[in-house]
Amino acid sequence: MPTSVPFFRPKLSDAAIAEVEDTLRSGWLTTGPKVKRFEAAFAEAVGAEHSLAVNSCTAAMHLALEALDVGPGQAVLVPTMTFAATAAVVRHMGGTPILVDCEPATGNLDLADAAAKADAFERGSLPVSAERLVGIMPVHVGGHMVDMGAVRAFADQRGLWVVEDAAHAFPAAYRAEPDAAWQQAGQGTADVTCFSFYANKTITTGEGGMAVSPRDDLMERMRVMSLHGLSKDAWKRYSGGHWDYRVISPGFKYNLTDIAAAIGLHQLERAEELRLERQAVANRYAEQLGEVSQLQLPVVPADRIHSWHLYPLRLRLDQLKIDRNAFIDALTETGISTSVHWRPLHAHPAYESLGWLPEHLPAASAVWQRLVTLPLFPGMREDEVESVVAAVTELCRQHAR
């Protein structure tokens, strides 16, 4: 009988579990010394100047946009191929997301379309309108980094800030030239870079996120706003500091706990080990599915270090008698769990209602109907990989045109 395969299974070390137990026995559970250690260790790992641990990547992006003073009348370029949070934080601040199409091969933001959308915005020929364009928010889909040098050049030319949604991109890197140094997400690649430590991300704290930045002005504001706008966090007030504080601005409740940071510290230590385990699974998929003509596999150029958060297949529907949804249903019947990353934003009611149509974003409109994300996680067993490969291959054989 084929092996059932979950979409994801976390891999936590005994050391991480012991660290959580130590935290529980310490008497300090919320934001405290382990959060501070985690922030410092993460900043060092990505080569960032400043870091702030929060309870989600969404929180990190929301804080970044608040610090950048995004508000009504301002528009932000956001890829349509992303999770809801990237655009939602713009709307939470009263701003207007301008949806940008994707590169068909990677799913990443298409800078040529970003330029076209920016020009169309200036002409007033988009479904949405605002007073001025202020920023761009690239997303590294599945852990394949966008060329952030090109994004920065584009942003500088148009006077835009850059907030990088790196939820999938730790540890990941790119380089612009074959002999150039690798540049990681967060290594000065944006005004603010935001990471996710959700349960199925490349490293996890259960729920959690991190913002890093080269700008101390933004990070100072974000740190204050991450905990109710207080002038001092709880650790400073109760670890030898004075009890008093001031509310500087009405802030949010976005802080990470020491319990979560205890997990994160040990996940961080093993980040490259875990990435290599995911890469090994990706390599097996490439080796065993590469000759299946009905499939288009993820591209892996030599100028990228891929985090392999996701393994998104693209079905060649012209070579199959079934559509993507039927393909996924058939995999589910064999015990293989899958997902789709993603239904693009313009195909959701919240953005359809603003006037976005498939013809505004033709690449994403076409590619998302071909997407199937296969299980990929550290600790994935050989029999699980074989079960996925066998099920996918057999479906392609059965339903080939």
Which residues have C-beta within 8 Å of that of residue 10, sequence separation ≥ 6?
199, 200, 204, 377
Which of 201, 236, 253, 321 is catalytic? The answer is 201
**Radius of gyration (Cα) for the chain, nearest Å?**
22
**Distance (Å, whole) CA 116 – CA 104:** 17
**Distance (Å, whole) CA 143 – CA 245:** 41
CB distance 380 to 276 below 8 Å: no
Quick one: tokens of 78? 């956001």
CB distance 260 to 54 below 8 Å: no
Whether 236 is catalytic: no
Tell me the CB-side half-sphere exposure of residue 271, using CA atoms within 13 A.
Answer: 22
CA dihedral over 106, 343, 311, 142, signed as positive or negative: positive
**Distance (Å, whole) CA 366 – CA 317:** 11
On the question of a cis peptide bond just before residue 356, with omega within 30 degrees of 0, the verdict is no
Quick one: tokens of 330? 């058939």
| Other beta carbons within 10 Å of 324 | 18
| Other beta carbons within 10 Å of 401 | 9
CB distance 2 to 395 below 8 Å: no
Quick one: tokens of 64? 């970044």
- Which of helix, strand or coil describes residue 173? strand
CB distance 35 to 188 below 8 Å: no
CB distance 202 to 278 below 8 Å: yes
Q: Which residues are catalytic, by number?
A: 201
